[in-house]
Amino acid sequence: MTESRALSRAADGRPAAPVRSVHLGLGNFVRAHQCWYTEHATDAAQWGIAAFSGTTSGPPADLTDQDSIYTLLTRATDSDVPEVVSSISASFGADDLDAWREFFARPELAFASTTVTEAGYCRNADGGLDLDDSRVASDLAALRTDGADAQVRTAPLKLLLGLMARRAAGLGGIAVLPCDNLPENGAVARRVVLDAARALDPALADWIVQNVSFVSTMVDRITPRSTTADRSHLLATTGIDDPALVVTEPYAEWVISGTFPVGRPSWEDSGARFVDDIVPWEHRKLWLLNGSHSLMAYAASILGSQTVADAIADPRVLGWVEQWWDEACRHLPLPADELAAYRAALLSRFANPNIRHLLAQIAADGTQKLPVRIVPIVRAELDAGRDAGGGLRVVAAWIAHLRGLGAPLQDNGAEQIRTLAAGDRDAAVARVLAHLGIDGGARKAVSAELERFESSAVTT
Ligand SMILES: NC(=O)c1ccc[n+]([C@@H]2O[C@H](COP(=O)([O-])OP(=O)(O)OC[C@H]3O[C@@H](n4cnc5c(N)ncnc54)[C@H](O)[C@@H]3O)[C@@H](O)[C@H]2O)c1
Ligand SMILES: O=P(O)(O)OC[C@@H](O)[C@@H](O)[C@H](O)[C@H](O)CO
């Protein structure tokens, strides 16, 4: 039996760095990505993060019990590299808004970052803040009643609350740094925060426009949820028992576009790139990586696969992924050899047997994901007179998923679309295509593909 030890700063020897940023959404990804980039910046000792859970109340025990340090286990096909990451200086529950406000009112706070999922930005179909969302409406009502002391729950309103505290303290602006898989995520965050501000106080909105920088980022590192088997593996191989363990892959990429009025860690030391135009980077990643992830999440789960590695080992799925990539690459203004290298790297990342990335996790929130990962290519291919067969297959698999096949449906926005996808197959396809803004001429092809999925589904 291995003797286990827990992590602590006393044993680790590194003090917590002074807090210079807050993060909202203390999931696995930020710990594998931004925290790791910060950890490996040469000025890491100056750049502590105060990290807040996105939705869970109360202090996150897994981290607070070990002084907010944790193990990041980087798993390649043939090696495991554990490291203790120390860049989170303090961690808080989602409801600790006193701490949240207090950090924003510190002059040295430089930026607020987010990983709150695509759905966490609470957007309506036009990309603005969804004022009909009951959580948004109740946050706005709380702010109208209680002002800066309000207890709000949604990410856009939490960002606004923090910025109100900063303005009330007579300080200048900061940067907002969204790190979710959304195109031009800086503009997305800006729009929803400003919509909230305008609904409350136009002068506050003006202050934000003049002072706050909304930075866009392309983020990449495949980071599945860690499992009890991962924790046992770490214990067996290192003697460390870490409930906050995060497992990730060796590959990491971070492309950033925007300004930081109060500074930032020197993330370029750890490989981050700063660019003027982020769009080609976002499209390459969202269409090739996330698009094929969504394809596998719906289509391969119907065939019985559980993980990305299982899915890509199935020659049928590999062919579908390649077909999708061929279509998407026609719309990426990047050199052919660069795209070929990216595709080859993706195939080996997907096949990594030590990254158990569940298709069910990736399948969540399709209503937010298909419109940015798949639909733009389908439309562009149809407009060019081609059949868009690879992209339409993803749409067909998603309709099958909405009709109960493959990975379980987990999507707060699915209520309406589920009704559209129900009933007679052809009529359902026509309704969903109209909803996605895809030409109805594709209906026959999608219906035929849906029928194939319905007849090949593995039932459990
Ligand atoms: N895991 C990855 O491989 C990966 C890679 C690139 C980008 N991302 C981005 O990071 C996001 C989070 O991924 P993760 O792996 O950390 O997931 P996770 O399930 O570990 O954590 C999700 C986090 O989001 C918060 N959250 C969920 N819904 C929210 C809401 N409505 N409002 C506020 N906070 C909310 C949760 O509280 C939690 O802190 C993804 O949705 C994606 O946009 C993830
Ligand atoms: O995280 P999501 O839910 O936006 O999408 C699921 C996966 O496609 C995603 O997490 C990828 O693994 C990630 O974007 C790789 O960097």
26 and 135, same domain (yes or no): yes
pLDDT at 1 over 80: no
Q: What angle do CA 107, 111, 117 make, to 5 degrees?
A: 145
Please provide the average confidence, as pLDDT, over all residues in the chain. Answer: 96
427 in any annotated domain? yes
155 and 18, same domain (yes or no): yes
Domain around 230: 9-274
73 CB near ligand 1 (under 6 Å): no
246 and 307, same domain (yes or no): no
334 and 357, same domain (yes or no): yes
Q: What pLDDT was estimated at residue 412?
A: 87
Q: How many Å apart are CA 341 and CA 228, to the nearest integer?
A: 35
Give the contacts of 336 (CB within 8 A, at least 6 positions apart): none
pLDDT band at residue 343, thresholds of 50, 70 and 90?
A: very high
Which of 255, 274, 293 is where one domain is finished? 274
Q: What is the pLDDT of residues 346-363, one digit of tens each?
A: 999 999 999 999 999 999
Q: What angle do CA 345, 347, 353 make, to 5 degrees?
A: 110
What's the number of domains the chain is made of?
Answer: 2
- Give me the CATH number covering residue 155: 3.40.50.720
221 CB near ligand 2 (under 6 Å): yes
310 CB near ligand 2 (under 6 Å): no
> Which is nearest to 62 in space by CA: 50, 54, 70?
70
Q: How many Å apart are CA 154 and CA 164, to the nearest integer?
A: 15
150 in any annotated domain? yes
Which of 223, 240, 274 is where one domain is finished? 274
Q: Residue 215 corresponds to which tokens in the numbers above?
A: 């930075």
Q: How many Å apart are CA 134 and CA 370, to the nearest integer?
A: 24
282 CB near ligand 2 (under 6 Å): no
Helix (H) or strand (E) holding 50: strand 48-52
120 CB near ligand 1 (under 6 Å): yes
229 and 316, same domain (yes or no): no
Q: What pLDDT was estimated at residue 423?
A: 97
pLDDT at 31 over 60: yes
Q: How many Å apart are CA 425 and CA 405, to the nearest integer?
A: 14
386 in any annotated domain? yes
151 and 220, same domain (yes or no): yes
236 in any annotated domain? yes
Q: Residue 229 corresponds to which tokens in the numbers above?
A: 């088997």
> Which is nearest to 116 in space by CA: 177, 168, 37, 198?
177
Q: How many Å apart are CA 293 and CA 94, to the nearest integer?
A: 29
Closest Cα to atom 13 of ligand 1? 29
- Give me the CATH number covering residue 351: 1.10.1040.10
Which of 216, 249, 274 is where one domain is finished? 274
Position 460, amino acid: T
pTM of the full structure:
0.95
Q: Residue 9 corresponds to which tokens in the numbers above?
A: 């700063």
1 in any annotated domain? no
Q: What pLDDT was estimated at residue 3?
A: 77
Strand boundaries in 243-399, DSSP class E:
246-248, 253-257, 273-274
pLDDT band at residue 460, thresholds of 50, 70 and 90?
A: low
Mutation test residue for ligand 2: of 282, 288, 362, the one with most atoms within 8 Å of CB: 362
pLDDT band at residue 157, thresholds of 50, 70 and 90?
A: very high
21 and 114, same domain (yes or no): yes
**What number is the average pLDDT over the span 42-51?**
98
Q: What is the pLDDT of residues 251-300, one digit of tens each?
A: 999 999 999 999 999 999 999 999 999 999 999 999 999 999 999 999 99
Q: Which ligand is nearest to the CA of 139?
A: 1
26 CB near ligand 1 (under 6 Å): yes
Q: Which ligand is nearest to the CA of 32?
A: 1
Backbone angles phi, psi at 91, to 5 degrees: -130, 150
Q: What is the pLDDT of residues 405-458, one digit of tens each?
A: 999 999 988 888 999 999 999 999 999 999 999 999 999 999 999 999 999 888
Is this prediction's ipTM beyond 0.95? yes
113 CB near ligand 1 (under 6 Å): no
147 and 58, same domain (yes or no): yes
430 in any annotated domain? yes
Q: What pLDDT was estimated at residue 2?
A: 57
**Considering Cα of 235, then 239, then 244, then 245, what sign does the dihedral take?**
negative
What is the Å distance from ligand 1's center to 446 Cα? 31
